[in-house]
């Protein structure tokens, strides 16, 4: 019993020794304005958040809940070219037909785990009939001491789901954008970008040629797994290995995907109809690609 008590006390001491905490501060619009980083009750760093898009010349029509909505007329689209970039083809008939009338600015703070905090700031344009037709987003990743370790440059893609390998060396970020495809409604573009956290650089980007549904990436054995639905009963299963800078892909049916039990270092394990385990090695039946 004495050994157990000593063990519990040791755990408590260890917890308090490594205790990390962040505190978010909000302005009158319920937007995150400042984030404080604490370690063992001591303030380590503070970051202040300002609207990086500098949208101030439009009337605010709604505030609160981490967003500010602005009224805008279609005639003002050309003024926003430096925000939304040429990729969105702001003068296209597709975007004009939506009669854009609202800009929405969003900022939020997300604690990924005890080691990293993500700050995202985005602005989106909406048409009178509802669809989102333009996006611009940027973000920064901070460690538990409030030190910036990775910057997501401003682009036309939302910064969405993020996963970090167990060794804390690599990060994958799912991003998606809305851009005109020539019709009334915008098309959706997806990418899975991989970053090296040791030198703050993007080392690879996977852009599916086709996608009707995408899923958040996962991580295992210090590599990433991406699943992307290509058709009603066909999925792209992709293993991305940042350490060796290579990927392995294989198309799976819905049934095959449901029988996937687990991953191992060299392949995946499926459950057969007879309830046995079948190991499929990446090197044997997957399409192999070197990033460089």
Contact 94, 86 (CB under 8 A): no
Lowest mean pLDDT among 166-175, 180-189, 273-282: 180-189
Per-residue model confidence as pLDDT tens digits over 233-250: 999 999 999 999 999 999
Shared-domain flag, residues 68 and 120:
yes
Please give the Cα distance from 103 to 126 (Å, whole number).
6
Domain end position, chosen among 180, 207, 234: 207
Residue 239 lies in a domain: yes
Q: Is 215 found in the same domain as 197?
A: no
Say whether both 63 and 172 belong to one domain.
Answer: yes
Segment 67-89 mean pLDDT: 67
pLDDT per residue over 204-235, tens digit each?
999 888 888 888 999 988 999 999 998 889 99
1 within a domain of the structure (yes/no): no
The whole domain housing 284 covers 209-292
Mean pLDDT of the chain: 80
Give the chain's domain count. 2
Residue 66 falls inside a structural domain: yes
> Are 216 and 76 within one domain?
no
Is the pLDDT at 4 greater than 60? The verdict is: no
Task: Determine the average pLDDT of the residues in 260-284.
Answer: 87
């Amino acid at each position: 019993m004495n050994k157990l008590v000593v063990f519990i006390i040791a755990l408590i001491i260890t917890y308090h020794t490594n205790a990390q905490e962040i505190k978010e501060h909000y302005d009158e619009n319920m937007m995150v304005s400042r984030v404080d980083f604490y370690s063992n009750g001591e303030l380590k760093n503070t970051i202040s958040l300002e609207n990086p898009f500098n949208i101030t010349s439009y009337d605010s029509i709604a505030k609160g809940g981490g967003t500010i909505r602005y009224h805008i007329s279609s005639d003002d689209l050309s003024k926003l070219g430096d925000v939304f970039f040429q990729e969105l083809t702001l003068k296209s008939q597709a975007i004009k037909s939506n009669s854009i009338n609202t800009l929405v600015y969003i900022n939020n703070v997300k604690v990924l785990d005890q080691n990293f905090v993500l700050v995202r700031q985005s602005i989106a344009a909406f048409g009178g009939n509802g669809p989102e037709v333009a996006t611009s987003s940027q973000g920064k990743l901070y460690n538990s001491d409030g030190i910036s370790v990775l910057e997501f440059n401003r682009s036309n893609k939302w910064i969405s789901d993020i996963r970090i390998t167990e060794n804390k060396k690599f990060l994958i970020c799912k991003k998606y954008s809305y851009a005109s495809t020539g019709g009334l409604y915008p098309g959706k573009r997806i990418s899975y970008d991989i970053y090296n956290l040791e030198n703050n650089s993007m080392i690879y980007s996977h852009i599916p040629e086709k996608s009707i549904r995408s899923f958040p990436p996962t991580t295992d054995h210090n590599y990433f797994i991406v699943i992307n639905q290509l058709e009603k009963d066909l999925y792209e299963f992709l293993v991305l290995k940042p350490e060796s800078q290579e990927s392995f892909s294989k198309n799976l049916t819905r049934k095959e995907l449901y029988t996937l039990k687990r991953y191992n270092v060299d392949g995946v394990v499926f459950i057969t109809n007879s309830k046995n385990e079948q190991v499929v090695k990446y090197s044997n039946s997957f399409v192999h690609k070197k990033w460089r």
